[in-house]
Every structure is written in C-alpha cells, then in structure tokens.
Amino acid sequence: MWRATVLTLYPELFPGPLDASVLGRGAAEGHWALDTVNIRDFSDNKYGSVDDTPAGGGAGLVMRADILGAAIDSINHDDRPLLCLTPRGAPLTQHRAQALAAGPGLVALCGRFEGIDERVFSSRDIEEVSIGDFVLAGGEIAAMALIEACVRLVPGVLGSASSLGEESFEGGLLEYPQYTRPREFQGRAIPDVLLSGDHQRIADWRDEQRKEITRTRRPDLWERFLADGPIRRDKNKEPK
C-alpha cells in the first residue's frame, strides 16, 4: 500500500482535504494511507519549543536541527524518499508526482517559521520540493498538494484510469477544453465538432486545441514539447 508520513507541528490539519472524495474513498479501500508525526514530541524542553533565533541575527525563528533530526530518525522510511516542502526546492511537476506515485510512498517534512536549520539538509538524504514561486506560512498545505498529486495517480484510487491519459502535462501538453450540458449556455454553444459523433475529427480537434492552449499559455512547455516530439515520455525518465 502507498504510504505518506507527514512530519509537522500541526498534525491536526491532516488528513483534511485528503480525506474527501476519491482520495478518501481510496484510503478507505486500502489503496493508500497517511500518518503524521508531531515534531513537537521531540522537543527537549518543558515548553515544547522546537525553534530558536537565527545564528548571525535577523528576524524570526528557525527550526532546530537536533529536534528535526530526532523526528526524522524516529520514522520507519521503508525505502520511501524524504521530501522537504520549501520555496527553494525544485518545482513540483506532474512527472515527479508520477514517479513518486509508482513507488512505495513518501515522507514529507513541513517547515514553519523562517525555515529549517541547514544542517538538517546536509546531514540527511532530503529532496527539497516547492509547490510554486510564492511563500506560504508553513509546509502543510504544500505537503497536502504534493500528496494529493501523487495519490490520485496510485493505481485503484481514480475509478477511470483512461481519464489520466489525456490530462494536462500528459505528453507534454495542457488539456483541451471540456464541455457538457446544457448544449447552449448564455449564448455560447458547444463546438459542433464535439456533437458530430465523428471520433477521428473530435480527436484531431482536441489535439489541435491542446497544442494551441499550450503554445499560447505556456511557451516553456511548448518549447519542450517541440524539442521532445509528441511521443509520450517514459514516466520514470526525467524529461530533457
């Protein structure tokens, strides 16, 4: 079973949204599981503090290396990678989520305050991951985003595996526009081609739309798509 362990100062925030909808059902059916470790349990003082002032001065507080080290070492990793959510990490991608979903799970370390003593990173095998170029107050929401991105790809969690194949980022492109009833909404009709019943024309139209949307909205992805070609990438191989 795919397993996520989250090290956090706020275990009460979990599972939160990870318990809703298909993910909640996936957990109930035994496809994946989540547990938390309260970093404060590893505090060495009666106040339960886990942070201290930054060496060299400056604003805020930094999470202590000795306390985080003890919290990390208390976990049975079972070959699961340890990821730390941090704005300075590598941007999370669908490709990375696919690779993580194909493995045994992950351990996620959530920062708070000004961040984490650098020696935690240099003394442990930690992959630093960011969910975007902005700063959150803590790593918990970022960890939820990471776990959700992975868990929905764990076999059995989503009912229809076919819906995964045409999603944004599959094959290097964003998704085509979707429509459903009503046939007309405030003067806007569903494109005729989608009502034609001609599967080849529909597939061609969607393919064109994917390319156009990617080209105009995400030139970075489009450039990479042009360089890689339309071949679906090997999920375990990092794209160029």
Q: Which residue number, 47 or 134, has a Cβ lying nearer to ligand SAM?
A: 134
Best CA proximity match to 13, nearest among 163, 112, 144:
144
Q: Which residue number, 150 or 158, has a Cβ lying nearer to ligand SAM?
A: 150
Bond before 11 cis per omega within 30 degrees: no
CA–CA separation, 203 vs 168, rounded Å?
Answer: 15
142 binds ligand SAM (CB under 6 A): yes
Closest residue to ligand SAM, based on beta-carbon distance: 111
Closest distance of CB 178 from ligand SAM, Å: 28
Q: Which of 85, 100, 107, 147 binds ligand SAM (CB under 6 A)?
A: 85
Q: Which of 87, 103, 156, 171 binds ligand SAM (CB under 6 A)?
A: 87
Closest distance of CB 146 from ligand SAM, Å: 8
Closest distance of CB 137 from ligand SAM, Å: 6
Q: Could you give the angle at the alpha carbon of 12 between the alpha carbons of 110 and 143, nearest 5°?
A: 30
Bond before 191 cis per omega within 30 degrees: no
Best CA proximity match to 129, nearest among 89, 163, 187:
89
72 binds ligand SAM (CB under 6 A): no
Closest distance of CB 145 from ligand SAM, Å: 8
x/- string (CB under 6 A) for ligand SAM, residues 100-139? ----------xxx-xxx-------------xxx-xxxxxx
- The count of residues interacting with ligand SAM (CB under 6 A) is 20
CA–CA separation, 188 vs 168, rounded Å?
Answer: 24
Q: Which residue number, 85 or 213, has a Cβ lying nearer to ligand SAM?
A: 85
HSE (CB half, 13 Å, CA atoms) of 78?
Answer: 11
List, in order, residues 6 or more apart from 166 with CB less than 8 Å away: 175, 176, 206
Please give the residue ranges that form the binding site for ligand SAM (CB under 6 A): 85-88, 110-112, 114-116, 130-132, 134-139, 142
